[in-house]
Structure 1
């Protein structure tokens, strides 16, 4: 193996790990953004999210009863 090939392999690995780190950071930022949007919506109107939750729970319980 030539000296140039040895040098290129670690660089490629670093780029891949950098890409993976950026993908992970992107995923975490998306999760944080979604959380903050939900938090803001809840703070603006707490009853709206409770109504949604009750509707979902109620509709799910109907499905179980019909079986």
Structure 2
């Protein structure tokens, strides 16, 4: 489901997709599922703030954007 975009970032996104598909399950869980977040409730909304950085959230958020469509 991870999209291959067209244009400037096409090669980079294709390489990232191949990299993710080659991961073992434990690496996938560490990169995407075990993201430390702070949950903030404001009014009737919940906001998730990502607290740490690794090189994989950009890939994760591109996937989330694709799944929401």
TM-score bracket, normalised by the shorter chain, equals 0.3 to 0.5
* Higher RCO (C-alpha under 8 Å, 6+ residues apart): 2
Report the structure, 1 or 2, having the larger helix content. 1
Q: Find the structure with the greater CA-based Rg.
A: 1
The TM-score normalised by the length of structure 1 is 0.36
TM-score by length of 2: 0.35
